[in-house]
Chain A
């Protein structure tokens, strides 16, 4: 059974940093691209960032480019999202998601339960 466990969320002040983690099990982690998707309170879903299976390619939404960095450690079946210079509009539940399909055309087949990030003073 595929399982994705998100963690690392919390309360942070504007301008602060936070690192999210996602631990995967039940599938060959190193064979799949992964993404982070978020949902702000009362809003819809927004794709945030994706990374290729090897970690050699990373992609970002314009809203987080230059502030967020995605990475992975295939030896530990782990996905990360380093979030810097956080703003109030980054407040959201962040989900990690397993991708399938063509590179750059992500279908999200499995999701974590989400971790809440709150940016507030």
Chain B
């Protein structure tokens, strides 16, 4: 099983700043089968990024993903109020596993 470790656990930023979230895999994630999701209480989770760097439909270009192998990054440019949430990475190179999450909170 591929274990995903996300860092930092919490990111305290102000609106307008850039958020950089890390996701590290315990072994190579094949075919860049890495996704990012946004979770907010009471709402359906939302797919942001798949294939490590492809934005899902309707996701603004402020969200970008990068990386390959074992190291992946989600970058959110110009944070808006609606972006403060918890973000999870997930690998789908085999049975799905998720990282522990990064909370992006207002500073």
Does A95 interact with chain B (Cβ within 8 Å)? yes
User: In the complex, what's the smallest C-beta–C-beta distance from A28 to chain B, in angstroms?
Assistant: 17
Contact of B95 among A97, A104, A111, A114 (CB under 8 A): A104
User: In the complex, what's the smallest C-beta–C-beta distance from B74 to chain A, in angstroms?
Assistant: 15
- A108→B33 contact, CB < 8 A: no
Does B46 interact with chain A (Cβ within 8 Å)? yes
Q: Which residues of B contact A104 (CB under 8 A)?
A: 94-95
CA distance A97 to B43 in the complex (A): 13
- Secondary structure class of chain B's binding surface, majority of residues: loop
Does A46 interact with chain B (Cβ within 8 Å)? yes
User: In the complex, what's the smallest C-beta–C-beta distance from A115 to chain B, in angstroms?
Assistant: 11
CA distance A59 to B99 in the complex (A): 21
Q: List residues of A whose CB falls within 8 A of some B CB.
A: 4, 35, 37, 39, 44-47, 59, 95, 97, 101, 104-114
Chain B, Cβ-Cβ closest to A45: B98
Contact of B45 among A47, A95, A107 (CB under 8 A): A95
CA distance A47 to B56 in the complex (A): 20
